[in-house]
Structure 1
């Protein structure tokens, strides 16, 4: 069954929140690193999926959609910049935990804003069929989205899609030498 885009996004948010909680509660350094690697990957993929699928739909369906999309892209950019730094560090590095916390605070603000304001209005604005079509596109994009942050890459389609497809092979190579934890996505 196809999930609508709002459900896809909220599921991603749940996964990211769960991973953040696991990171905070984990005392084993190796396991904490795996969780951090997974957080970085999940946020990178999620951001690309929103920028390619959701934000253009905001621009089409809301009278102030361009403003909302640009605001959301700005918030993503700051998170990506922090993730980019974190991605080159280890959890044991000086300042890692503080930067991770700063990034999560920014991200949670963004998630809360989407879930309390933008997504409910969006769901009321367009048909269920279009929500499901966008959900299928969102899920499909997840497979081709970059798995690491690229803050200097374009954040609007079609340039973002092309940049993501170009970055994906290198990202997958980097992923091959890292360990990750199960996100529980298959249980949602």
Structure 2
């Protein structure tokens, strides 16, 4: 069932938060790796989808929207760079734990601002029917974006969308040889 845009974004956040809790509780490095792979995938998909669907609305409908969207894109870029590095490492590698911790801190800081400030402002600025329509768009877009971090890719539509359409099938092929865990949303 489709939700409104903001509920879709927050559901993405909650999926990652759940995965982080699972990672922290897990003691088996093989299971930790599966969870970490899933976190990288979920954050990659979320970042691209949010940049394509939500940030243009923020820019258009909030008085300080361009500033907010640009700041969020900068935060996403740093997260993508760290995810890219994390994606090339394994849980037992030296430095993995510190980098993983930094990724989680970046994510938690980023979503706190979005959930407490940005998205409540956006909700107040948009009609419910538009939020539902944009939620449908978000859900569809989510299934067509890259599943791995690409920090050098464009971060604004239409270029991000075009590059993503080319890169997503490559990423999904690569995903076939990686291990993931189920999320509370199911499989991508």
TM-score by length of 2: 0.97
**Ranges in structure 2 where 5+ consecutive residues have no aligned partner:** none
1:182 equivalenced with 2:182 (yes/no): yes
1:9 equivalenced with 2:12 (yes/no): no
Summarize deviations over 1:35-69 as a string: whole Å, max 9, x none.
00000000000001100000000111011111010
**Deviation for aligned residue 1:170:** 1.4
Q: Within 5 Å, which residues of 2 pair with 1:105-116?
A: 105-116=105-116
* Contact persistence 2:59–2:66 (CA under 8 A): yes
Summarize deviations over 1:138-165 as a string: whole Å, max 9, x none.
0001110100000000000000011111
Give the secondary-structure state (helix, strand or coil) at the position aligned to 1:185.
coil
**Deviation for aligned residue 1:17:** 0.5
Find runs of 4+ consecutive structure 1 residues off by over 6 angstroms.
none
In structure 1, what is the Cα distance between the partners aligned to 2:45 and 2:145?
5
Counterpart of 1:131 in structure 2 is 131
Give the secondary-structure state (helix, strand or coil) at the position aligned to 2:143.
helix
**Ranges in structure 1 where 5+ consecutive residues have no aligned partner:** none
Q: Within 5 Å, which residues of 2 pair with 1:147-166?
A: 147-166=147-166
In structure 1, what is the Cα distance between the partners aligned to 2:132 and 2:66?
22
Q: Within 5 Å, which residues of 2 pair with 1:113-124?
A: 113-124=113-124
TM-score by length of 1: 0.97
In structure 2, what is the Cα distance between the partners aligned to 1:108 and 1:80?
14
Counterpart of 1:56 in structure 2 is 56
In structure 2, what is the Cα distance between the partners aligned to 1:182 and 1:116?
28
**Deviation for aligned residue 1:2:** 2.5
Summarize deviations over 1:166-185 as a string: whole Å, max 9, x none.
11121012101001001111
Counterpart of 2:39 in structure 1 is 39
In structure 2, what is the Cα distance between the partners aligned to 1:24 and 1:98?
13
In structure 2, what is the Cα distance between the partners aligned to 1:5 and 1:108?
20
In structure 2, what is the Cα distance between the partners aligned to 1:91 and 1:44?
18
* Contact persistence 2:79–2:107 (CA under 8 A): yes
Counterpart of 1:98 in structure 2 is 98
Summarize deviations over 1:71-122 as a string: whole Å, max 9, x none.
0000000100000000111111110111000011011000000000001111
